[in-house]
């Protein structure tokens, strides 16, 4: 009966996808009009492509957005060193740009196929991956089922699951068991992540820690020097990975603090740069002097705010900022990861809604490496304290750096779990290179 219920639920899910398939081109066009899709690559969402599958072994890695893509960078670099082909799918325009900037032609990038049967079938029939590695919490029933039917191993890496998602799956135990037992392994960010995947049906689980702690922070040194030269000794703070409503909060905080700190400069880095035009319009209504980073102008003494409307340059601005507020934590729930600002020497503030990174933040809070602000008023108070009292700020920065570095090692732990899946592909790659006279 349990298996029957699971298969019925999956059948209904598949049927629902079939019913909406004729509407998907319209849906994708609407998203493209809002900047959510690349209009020239919409067909990839339906599993179609004009790129050829390379010869030799191929690992398919999937990351939903920018954060997940960054988490996979060290792992992808290691796989490429093994001469194994990498197909990387992402779900957003910004993450696609990041892949292009970071890897160029070293990996094949495609937009992730929608989880409808025709798209998944076309995608798998064309690419025929030898292994699928999915980052964090992307659970697509038809993708999982399709890979299992083709006997393609699939592993969740840097696996994470929010409490809300876990409880939602618990309400559908038959379907959850049917889907999750088809996943060959889940390598969790934390003990609780691993336990939740195991409880839902994944038989093999392990704990790696967060792959983002193994990312070597980078920044354009020339650009950093240019900004530092133009800023002189101004007090700088950043609101990073902001979502709708948080840019307005940052602007109000800037105006409130400017009377006390006349040389204050605020940097705003929205999570989705495609919102920059709307953000700019709102900021200018407040009579603030704003420059956009993409315009390649350096700030002067009259600049209030730098709006960072590009991707892949967060490292520059985190090194400029003495304090960073991490977004999606005041006006929305979930939060973002504190590891990058911690590793780049910025004191960390966050709103109370950090559910998506609870385990990480729990460690930061326990080590006095981050502080919570409940609203704009508390944000202004904490900023004033940290910007004007260096001993307190330096103590937080040091605690955050130590906390982040102590979390490193996830990459090696992940590779250890992946060895049984990757070792056969290494041998295939060697044989392929010998057969094609490329050497090794």
Q: What is the DSSP string of 25-54?
A: HHHHHHHHHTTSS-GGGGGGGGT--SSPPP
The answer to whether 68 is a known catalytic residue is yes
Task: State the DSSP H helix or E strand holding residue 206, giving kind and residue range, or none if neither.
Answer: strand 205-207
DSSP 236: E
C-alpha distance from residue 320 to each of 18, 219, 285 (Å): 50, 11, 26
Domain ranges of the chain: 27-214+410-431, 221-407
Catalytic residue among 68, 138, 247, 340: 68
Count of C-beta atoms within a 10 Å radius of residue 240: 25
pLDDT of residue 15: 59
The residues, ordered by sequence, that sit 6+ positions from 67 with a Cβ below 8 Å of its Cβ are: 212, 336, 337
Burial label for 22, CB within 10 Å (0-12, 13-18, 19+), is exposed
Helix (H/G/I), strand (E/B), else coil: 131:
strand
The span from the CA of 183 to the CA of 177, in Å, is 10
To the question of domain 27-214+410-431 being in CATH 3.40.50.11720, the answer is yes
Locate the DSSP E strands across 51-195: 58-63, 85-90, 108-111, 131-135, 154-159, 185-188
The residues, ordered by sequence, that sit 6+ positions from 263 with a Cβ below 8 Å of its Cβ are: 233, 234, 235
The span from the CA of 257 to the CA of 273, in Å, is 26
The span from the CA of 327 to the CA of 335, in Å, is 6
Per-residue exposure over 304-340, b if at least 16 CB sit within 10 Å of its own CB, e if not: bbbbbbebbbbbbbbbbbbbbbbbbbbbbebbbbbbb
One digit per residue, the tens of pLDDT, for the chain of length 440 reads 556 556 666 656 665 666 566 666 766 666 766 667 888 899 999 999 999 999 999 999 999 988 899 999 999 999 999 999 999 999 999 899 999 989 999 999 999 999 999 999 999 999 999 999 999 999 999 999 999 999 999 999 999 998 889 999 999 999 999 999 999 999 999 999 999 999 999 999 999 999 988 887 778 899 999 999 999 889 999 999 999 999 999 999 999 999 999 999 999 999 989 899 999 999 999 999 999 999 999 999 999 999 999 988 999 999 999 999 999 999 988 999 999 999 999 999 999 999 888 889 999 999 999 999 999 999 999 999 999 999 999 999 999 999 999 999 999 999 999 999 999 999 999 887 777 755 44
- pTM for the whole structure: 0.82
The span from the CA of 250 to the CA of 264, in Å, is 12
The span from the CA of 263 to the CA of 392, in Å, is 20
Which CATH superfamily, name and number, covers 221-407?
Glycogen Phosphorylase B; (3.40.50.2000)
């Amino acid at each position: 009966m349990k298996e029957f219920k699971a298969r019925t639920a999956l059948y209904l899910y598949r049927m629902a996808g079939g019913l909406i398939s004729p509407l998907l081109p319209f849906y994708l066009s609407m998203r493209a009009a809002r900047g959510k899709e690349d209009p020239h690559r919409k067909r990839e969402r339906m599993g179609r492509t004009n790129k050829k599958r390379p010869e030799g072994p191929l690992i398919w890695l999937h990351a939903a957005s920018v954060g997940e893509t960054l988490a996979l960078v060290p792992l992808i670099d290691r796989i490429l060193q093994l001469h194994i082909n990498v197909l990387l799918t992402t779900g957003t325009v910004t993450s696609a740009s990041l892949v292009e900037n970071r890897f160029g032609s070293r990996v094949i990038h495609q937009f992730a196929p929608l989880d409808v049967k025709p798209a998944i079938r076309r995608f798998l029939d064309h690419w025929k991956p030898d292994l699928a590695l999915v980052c964090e919490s992307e659970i697509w029933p038809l993708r999982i089922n399709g890979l299992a039917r083709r006997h393609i191993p699939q592993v969740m890496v840097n696996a994470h699951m929010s409490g809300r998602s876990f409880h939602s799956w618990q309400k559908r135990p038959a379907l959850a068991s049917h889907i999750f037992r088809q996943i060959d392994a889940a390598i969790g960010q934390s003990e609780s992540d691993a336990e939740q995947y195991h409880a839902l049906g994944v038989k093999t689980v392990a704990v790696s820690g967060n792959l983002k702690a193994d990312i070597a922070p980078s920044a354009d040194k020339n650009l950093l020097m240019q900004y530092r030269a133009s800023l002189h000794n101004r007090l700088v703070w950043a609101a990073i990975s902001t979502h709708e409503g948080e840019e307005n909060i940052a602007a109000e905080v800037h105006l409130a603090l400017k009377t006390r700190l006349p040389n204050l400069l605020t940097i705003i880095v929205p999570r989705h740069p495609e919102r920059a035009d709307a953000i700019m319009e709102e900021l200018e209504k407040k009579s603030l002097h704003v420059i956009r980073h993409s315009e390649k102008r350096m700030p002067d003494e009259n600049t209030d705010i730098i709006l960072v409307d590009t991707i892949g340059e967060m490292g520059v601005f985190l090194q400029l900022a003495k304090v960073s507020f991490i977004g999606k934590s005041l006006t929305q729930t979930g939060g973002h990861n504190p590891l990058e600002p911690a590793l780049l020497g910025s004191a960390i503030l966050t709103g109370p809604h950090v559910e998506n990174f609870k385990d990480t933040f729990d460690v930061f809070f326990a080590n006095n490496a981050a502080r919570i602000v409940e609203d704009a008023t508390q944000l202004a108070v904490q900023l004033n304290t940290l910007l004007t009292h260096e001993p307190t700020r330096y103590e937080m920065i040091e605690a955050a750096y130590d906390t982040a570095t102590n979390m490193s090692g996830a990459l090696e732990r992940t590779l250890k779990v992946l060895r049984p899946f990757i070792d056969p592909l290494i041998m295939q790659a060697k044989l392929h290179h010998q057969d094609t006279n490329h050497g090794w």
